[in-house]
């Protein structure tokens, strides 16, 4: 009897499991469809695009559009493809992510373990920073950059991203460090360690999960940023997002959808890679503080 | 090793006063326990001694040095925390030697010191592990090892045993006592467990609401509490407080209780009751002073035998606790388990008031001091 009952539940389990997989696959398909269309289109030539449907397969693997997007397509009056802007973006993103993450870690460390008079107000003020829309700071920031003499430079863009990102990174680190017991810092102080020694030797080594989260978040935000990029970059410091826009909007004769699609995928590739490489740490890091006190 | 003097220390957060003028001084090598309910200020006082919190007023001296405004690392103090606070990213050996490293002790000396401490606490086999791989008791040992390695002038223990299970707690308690006897160091130890306080301390400071209620040896605190709070806090089960009427009898003063029948018991210092003649006071009587009738005490000076109405009996193996009601107050008596006592019966009990104390009913202060 019990055997039969067990077998029945296991068939039911199996059916439910299959249903679950079908549902998940359907969802995945919905999410992946646009990417698939982009990928397929980028591999066709212009003639095929015109004659075929969105989802029809390319007749042959044709990477011409990719090489054109990378190094030959025109973005405005320049015709050097995405490559120079791709590296521009890295020049902006790497220092901006590094500096904002480090500052966020230091801020979070101070706000959670070296409370001073008004530190809670300071934290609240920083939180407000998370809710300020990009557009609001465009004009004042332009004035500031001009006044500092770094308008239209990579340095200027890095600074804008650092300032805008610090509110978020501080919030991340502060919430994470809140779960590190205060006694740990007290013990280190009694052991004779100072402010930076404690940060470097005790706090940073346990911060890996939140560093991963912050780096992914900041990398994605800054890489994908368009508004600051278009407003504050110079002619030769434009990030890849701005270049993509220019590329798509520049047309001589017919629209080259295959090149547009290839360029768009190139522009999105780094964030995609970051998510694939560090995605599991991202989820782990987000929940780390919540589960363990 | 150093003595510790806490001189009129006050601590305020805005308007609220957490410490209201603490005066404690102990000799070098003494084991001082700060005990009291949560929120009494004992942890704040401990943090002030460590330098982790500033005091608003007063002075703290370690040995002859005024350290009131010294930073924690300059006070030469080591602390063991309730949560152990081991550095999670370091091995046990690194945890123990971190303080030495910060003080720029050469590598060889550090290694030797780690070895010495590890041998003393029998944690040699754990040196390469991370704290996460240790059990609670092992972490406790490592935390103590970290404190011992620096050979500081003074040790602070902040409720070090309260995260351990009951059995381990008793073991570690003995171990801390042994360690103190062996090293002879000055220790300040915070706990809310009055048994820990009684068993470990050379001197106990009982605290409440930011004030030291009494500072004395464990026996002094047990036998001679200065007020109702101290009397009720120390001892398990707690001291019985029985409302009693002061009566004049044969030219001296005695106390009348309402046991099964009205009973008059003598009091060791009858003259102190004079001012309360005809009024009610609270008689403080430890449970072990109300027992089954013991022949060898029969006829002694402060011994009276009277009937009580038994409410509940609680056999504990070594003793049987008998709960009764005297003058409307619940009273615990400690009996020999062989004495036949049953609930809802009336039995004879022997009241020994030679160590009884008396408190003012309203202020809770001792009358007979």
The answer to the question of residue A67 being in a domain is no
Among B195, B350, B339, B188, CA closest to B263: B350
Q: What is the pLDDT of residue A289?
A: 46
- Asked if residue A291 has pLDDT above 50, the reply is no
pLDDT in tens, B75-99: 999 999 988 899 999 999 999 999 9
How many domains would you assign to chain A?
2
Q: What is the pLDDT of residue A240?
A: 92
**Taking CB atoms and an 8 Å limit, are B81 and A183 in contact across chains?**
yes
Q: Which of B85, B140, B153 to probe the A interface (max A CBs under 10 A)?
A: B85
**Taking CB atoms and an 8 Å limit, are A190 and B73 in contact across chains?**
yes
Question: What is the pTM (predicted TM-score) of this model?
Answer: 0.80
Q: Which of B97, B98, B143 to probe the A interface (max A CBs under 10 A)?
A: B98
Q: How much of chain B, in percent, has pLDDT values that exceed 70?
A: 100
Contact A221, A271 (CB under 8 A): no
The answer to the question of residue A69 being in a domain is no
Taking the domains of chain B in order of start, what are their residue ranges? Answer: 4-233, 240-360
Residue of B nearest to A187 (CA): B85
Q: Which residues of B touch A181 (CB under 8 A)?
A: 83, 85
**Taking CB atoms and an 8 Å limit, are A186 and B79 in contact across chains?**
yes
Q: What is the mean pLDDT of chain B?
A: 92
Residue A127 shares a structural domain with residue A194? yes
CATH superfamily of B240-360: Nucleic acid-binding proteins (2.40.50.140)
Q: Which residues of B touch A205 (CB under 8 A)?
A: 89
pLDDT in tens, B188-205: 999 988 889 999 999 999
B345: phi then psi, degrees, rounded to nearest 5: -110, 165
Residue A52 shares a structural domain with residue A88? no
- Two domains, one topology: B4-233 and B240-360: no
Please tell me which of the candidates A184, A187, A192 has its beta carbon nearest to residue B103: A192
pLDDT in tens, B323-355: 999 999 999 999 999 999 999 999 999 999 999
A167 is in which domain, residue-wise?
83-292
Residue A152 shares a structural domain with residue A235? yes
The answer to the question of residue A141 being in a domain is yes
Residue A34 shares a structural domain with residue A109? no
Domain covering B4-233 in this structure, CATH number: 3.40.50.300
* CATH of residue A161: 1.10.3720.10
Residue A107 shares a structural domain with residue A56? no
- Band of the pLDDT at A257, cuts 50, 70, 90? confident
- Asked if residue B239 has pLDDT above 60, the reply is yes
- Asked if residue A285 has pLDDT above 70, the reply is no
Q: What is the pLDDT of residue A253?
A: 67
Please tell me which of the candidates B78, B83, B89 has its beta carbon nearest to residue A190: B78
**What is the distance in angstroms between the Cα of B69 and the nearest Cα belonging to chain A?**
15
**Separation CA A194–CA B102 (nearest Å):** 9
- Asked if residue A278 has pLDDT above 90, the reply is no
Residue of B nearest to A115 (CA): B53
Least confident span in A74-88, B202-216, B340-354: A74-88
The answer to the question of residue A117 being in a domain is yes
**What is the distance in angstroms between the Cα of A194 and the nearest Cα belonging to chain B?**
9
pLDDT in tens, A202-241: 999 989 888 988 999 999 999 999 999 999 988 888 999 9
Q: What is the mean pLDDT of chain A?
A: 87
Residue matched to tokens 């499991």: A17
Q: Which residues of A touch B78 (CB under 8 A)?
A: 190
ipTM over 0.90: no
Domain boundary, last residue among A14, A29, A62: A62
- Band of the pLDDT at A5, cuts 50, 70, 90? low
Q: What is the mean pLDDT of residues A165-180?
A: 92
Residue A112 shares a structural domain with residue A7? no
Residue A187 shares a structural domain with residue A50? no
Q: What is the mean pLDDT of residues B236-257?
A: 91
Burial B206-240 (b: 16+ CB within 10 A, else e): bbbebbbbbbbebeebbebbbbbbbbbbbbeeebb
pLDDT in tens, A180-205: 988 999 999 999 999 999 999 999 99
Exposure of A269 in the CB half-sphere (CA atoms within 13 A): 18
Residue A110 shares a structural domain with residue A154? yes
Residue A244 shares a structural domain with residue A101? yes
The answer to the question of residue A77 being in a domain is no
Q: What is the pLDDT of residue A58?
A: 80
**Taking CB atoms and an 8 Å limit, are B150 and A181 in contact across chains?**
no
Is there a cis peptide before residue B237, judged by omega within 30 degrees of 0? yes
**Taking CB atoms and an 8 Å limit, are B73 and A191 in contact across chains?**
yes
pLDDT in tens, B95-135: 999 999 999 999 999 999 999 999 988 899 999 999 999 98
Q: Which residues of B touch A191 (CB under 8 A)?
A: 73, 98-99, 102, 146, 150
């Amino acid at each position: 009897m019990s055997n039969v009952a067990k077998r029945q539940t296991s068939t039911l389990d199996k059916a439910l499991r299959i249903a679950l997989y079908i549902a998940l696959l359907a969802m995945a398909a919905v999410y992946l469809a646009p990417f698939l269309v982009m990928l397929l289109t980028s591999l066709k030539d212009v003639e095929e695009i015109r004659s075929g449907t969105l989802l029809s397969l390319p007749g042959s693997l044709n990477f011409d559009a990719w090489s054109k997007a990378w190094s030959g397509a025109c973005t405005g009056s320049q015709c050097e493809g995405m490559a120079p802007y791709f590296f521009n973006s890295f020049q902006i993103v790497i220092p901006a992510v590094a500096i904002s993450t480090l500052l966020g870690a230091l801020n979070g460390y101070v706000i959670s373990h070296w409370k001073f008079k008004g530190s809670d107000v300071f934290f609240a003020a920083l939180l407000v920073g998370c809710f300020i829309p990009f557009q609001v700071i465009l004009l004042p920031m332009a004035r500031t950059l001009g006044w500092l003499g770094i308008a239209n430079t990579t340095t200027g863009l890095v600074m804008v991203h650092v300032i805008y990102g610090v509110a978020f990174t501080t919030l991340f680190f502060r919430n994470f460090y809140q779960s590190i017991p205060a006694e740990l810092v007290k013990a280190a102080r009694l052991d004779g360690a100072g402010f930076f020694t404690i940060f470097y030797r005790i706090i940073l080594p346990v911060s890996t999960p939140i560093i991963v989260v912050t780096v992914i978040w900041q990398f994605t935000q800054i890489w994908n940023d368009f508004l600051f990029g278009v407003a504050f970059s110079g002619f030769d410091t434009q990030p890849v997002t701005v270049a993509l826009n220019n590329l798509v909007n520049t047309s001589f004769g017919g629209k080259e959808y295959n090149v547009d699609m290839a360029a768009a995928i190139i522009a999105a590739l780094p964030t995609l890679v970051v998510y694939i490489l560090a995605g599991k740490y991202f989820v782990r890091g987000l929940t780390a503080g919540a589960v363990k006190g | 090793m150093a003595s510790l003097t806490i001189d009129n220390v006050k601590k305020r957060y805005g308007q609220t006063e957490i410490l209201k003028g603490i005066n404690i001084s102990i000799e070098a090598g003494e084991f001082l326990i700060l005990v009291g309910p949560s929120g009494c200020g004992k942890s704040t006082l401990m943090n002030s001694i460590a330098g982790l919190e500033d005091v608003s007023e007063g002075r703290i001296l370690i040995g002859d040095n005024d350290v009131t405004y010294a930073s924690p690392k300059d006070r030469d103090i080591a602390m063991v925390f309730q949560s152990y606070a081991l550095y999670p990213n370091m091995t046990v050996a690194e945890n123990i030697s971190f303080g030495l490293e910060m003080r720029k002790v050469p590598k060889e000396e550090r290694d030797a010191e780690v070895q010495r401490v590890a041998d003393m606490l029998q944690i040699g086999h754990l040196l390469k592990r991370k704290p996460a791989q240790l059990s609670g008791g092992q972490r406790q040992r490592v935390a103590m090892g970290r404190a011992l390695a620096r050979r500081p002038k003074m040790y602070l223990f902040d409720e070090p045993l309260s995260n351990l299970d009951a059995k381990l707690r008793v073991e570690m308690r003995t171990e801390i006592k042994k360690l103190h006897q062996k090293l002879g160091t000055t220790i300040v130890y915070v706990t809310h467990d009055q048994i820990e306080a009684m068993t470990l301390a050379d001197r106990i400071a009982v605290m409440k609401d930011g004030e030291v209620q009494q500072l004395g040896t464990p026996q002094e605190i047990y036998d001679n509490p200065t007020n109702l709070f101290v009397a009720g806090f120390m001892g398990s089960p707690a001291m019985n407080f029985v409302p009693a009427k002061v009566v004049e009898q044969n030219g001296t003063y005695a106390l009348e209780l309402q046991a099964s029948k009205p009973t008059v018991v003598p009091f060791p210092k009858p003259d102190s009751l004079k001012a309360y003649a005809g009024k009610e006071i609270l008689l403080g009587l430890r449970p072990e002073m109300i027992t089954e009738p013991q022949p060898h005490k029969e006829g002694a000076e402060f011994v009276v035998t009277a009937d009580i109405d038994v409410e509940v009996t609680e056999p504990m193996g070594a003793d049987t606790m008998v709960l009764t009601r005297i003058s409307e107050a619940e009273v615990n008596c400690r009996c020999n388990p062989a004495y036949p006592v049953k609930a809802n019966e009336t039995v004879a009990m022997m009241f020994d008031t030679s160590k009884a104390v008396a408190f003012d009913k309203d202020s809770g202060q001792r009358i007979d001091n």
